[in-house]
Amino acid sequence: MKDFWNERYSDSAFVYGKQPNAFLKESLEIFSPGKILFPAEGEGRNAVYSAKKAWEVSAFDISEEGRKKALTLAKEQQVEITYEIKDFLEISYPTSYFDVIALIYAHFPKEIRLEYFQKFDKILKPDGVIIFEAFSESHLEYQKLNPSVGGPKDRKMLFSLQELKDYLPGYHFKQLEEQEVSLNEGKYHIGRGSVIRCIAFKSEAV
């Protein structure tokens, strides 16, 4: 996968665009800026946007090419982000450190997802929030009609509503729904698709 993403991000264009994901942008309006983490952040569009909104941004990805473009975008937008080259299993942030963890199209294999979410829970503050958008299992039908909408072609890399409930026991879901959306993100997320959108609070005392 590292070679795949390095090849994709080596394109001179920002292949998912420079603008932030619409759901992330909308969701961040709810919260006061604090510490935010972007796993699998790619070319940095969401991290840079958040930094412009006064968030203290950390990000990581397996792609060196993605990091290069993210830092270029940050310089262009005159903000600072901390961006490391790491795999999910290599993350070592302090316990109860982040106010928000934003998982935006962070697709990873089903058999190791529970371990990842347990790691995220550990580094999220007791009153922290997970913002999540990713393609649902229903998205495969949209891909058949329009390959340009992008997303994994393996059902095991896609998500279901029940999975989010299972991975986040004890969380309070402000929003958890599957939606048909119209994407316009660079050249790989174009057209109608099916996504799961989630805002989950680690505790209900919010």
Give, in degrees to the nearest 5, the angle at Cα 187 between 183 and 192: 25
**Continuous segment of H or E residues that includes residue 191:** strand 189-201
**pLDDT band at 206, cuts 50/70/90?**
very low
pLDDT surpasses 60 at 163:
yes
Q: Dihedral angle at the C-alpha atoms of 57, 173, 126, 62, nearest 10 degrees?
A: -40
> To the nearest whole percent, how much of the chain has pLDDT over 70?
99
CATH pick for 2-201 out of 1.10.645.10, 3.30.70.20, 3.30.565.10, 3.40.50.150: 3.40.50.150
pLDDT over 50 at 205, yes or no: no
* Segment 27-33 mean pLDDT: 97
Please report, for the chain, the start and end positions of each structural domain, with discontinuous segments joined by +. Answer: 2-201
User: Strand 189-201 vs strand 98-104: parallel, antiparallel, or unpaired?
Assistant: unpaired
Model confidence, pTM: 0.96
In the sheet that holds 124-135, the strands lie side by side as 82-85, 56-61, 35-39, 98-104, 124-135, 189-201, 172-185
